[in-house]
Amino acid sequence: MIEGLTRGDFLRLLGASVAGTALAGHARADALQSVTVGGIQLPTDAPLFIAMDKGYFAKEGIAIDIKWFTAAATVFSAVVSRDVDIGMTSTTAATFNLAAKGGFRIIAGSTRDAPHFPLNAFLVSNKAYAAGFTNFKAMGGRRIAMTTAGSTHQYDIAQIAQKYGVPLASIAMVPLQSYGNISAALESGQVDGAILPPSQAQKILDAKGAHFLAWTGDEVPEQQGIVFASPQTLANKRELVLRFMRAYVQGAQEYHRNFNGVDAAGKPVKGPEFDALVAIIARHAGITPAQVEAQVTYIIADSRPDEADIRRQIAFWQELGMVPKDGDFSHLFDLSFLPNASG
């Protein structure tokens, strides 16, 4: 006890100090600027989760407010209407229709469907496999399930067909809306093939309900996940978005160090923080650590998207008449928000 102070004086000073510290903590918390992020609750949002848990956003003076949606289209709509500041999800034909009208700008890339990483599995029904559909050259005349017209599934199927010289017109693409519907149709032989995420695919394979043909990333690598915002948000909240991206890229780099490595045989190599980061991703994605490990995807370390591939996607949808050929995509990208970006 300090000399000259009574016990009562000391306790009063101690209480004032504790209260002052608590108030300062509240003040610091209140000083954080909120950024509302819209997405679909999936482990592909790992950079966001890691940056939140590791305090990278807080260090930039940001508090993250997440709004989860059930479909990519609603994420883009929320960004365009500015119900959320920043969106994160995969590209679709509908995506580029909004982009053609200047509804959003791509400010970063997140996931790639890349070789050696299980983002989407191509399965063949037992019935079709027995009838000779054992490789992609036999796709002609088959019924292939997808979620919806304009989805990444449709793009993947078309790219695989082109790679193996199969006329796209010879393939019947069947939109079944949900993975549950796709799984049921595949196992019952109503469709000959389908693209499914790892968790659904593994259930079918464990039950011997279909045959595995390939991971789409091994066949037709492509840009899938993007980070985007409306032109108004980027103009009005530029400094805030810059700080957001600094923290986000730190999360992406940590993911890269621990998940993106492969050995000479193409098998994943776990980084030093692999288990700890799996736990973080599982908690935020609302799944188990085992489920996270079963669907480790490739996330771009510097968050720079593959612009050329995205433009190829646009051209594909334009050829199908699902995106206007006179759409203005000259301002689709604004990569000036990436750390050390040149534009």
How would DSSP label each residue in 248-307?
HHHHHHHHHHHHS-B-TTS-B---TTHHHHHHHHHHHHTS-HHHHHHT--EE-TT----H
Domain interval for residue 261: 32-114+222-337
Domain count, the chain: 2
| pLDDT value for 23 | 42
Residue 78 CB: number of other CB atoms within 10 A? 19
Final residue belonging to a domain, choices 219, 237, 263: 219
Q: Which helix (H) or strand (E) holds 37?
A: strand 33-39
| pLDDT value for 25 | 45
Same domain, 209 and 233: no
| pLDDT value for 70 | 81
β partners of residue 87: 38, 228
How would you write the pLDDT of the chain (343 residues) with one tens digit per residue? 445 555 555 445 555 554 444 444 444 556 899 999 999 998 999 999 999 999 999 999 999 999 999 888 899 999 999 999 999 999 989 889 999 999 999 999 999 999 988 888 999 999 999 999 999 999 999 999 998 888 888 999 999 999 999 999 999 999 998 888 999 999 999 999 999 988 789 889 999 999 999 999 999 999 989 999 999 999 999 999 999 999 999 999 999 999 999 998 888 899 999 999 999 999 999 999 998 988 889 999 999 999 999 999 999 999 999 999 998 899 999 999 999 765 4
Final residue belonging to a domain, choices 159, 184, 219: 219
- Give the whole-number percent of the chain exceeding pLDDT 90: 73
CA gap 332, 72 in Å, rounded: 18
In b/e form, how buried is each residue of 240-264, taking b as 16+ CB within 10 angstroms? bbbbbbbbbbbbbbbbbebbbeeee
Distances (CA, A) of 194 to 116, 175, 206, 235: 19, 10, 16, 42
Same domain, 212 and 252: no
CA gap 61, 173 in Å, rounded: 48
Final residue belonging to a domain, choices 169, 184, 219: 219
Closest CA to 100 of 333, 336, 324: 324
Same domain, 293 and 309: yes
| pLDDT value for 119 | 84
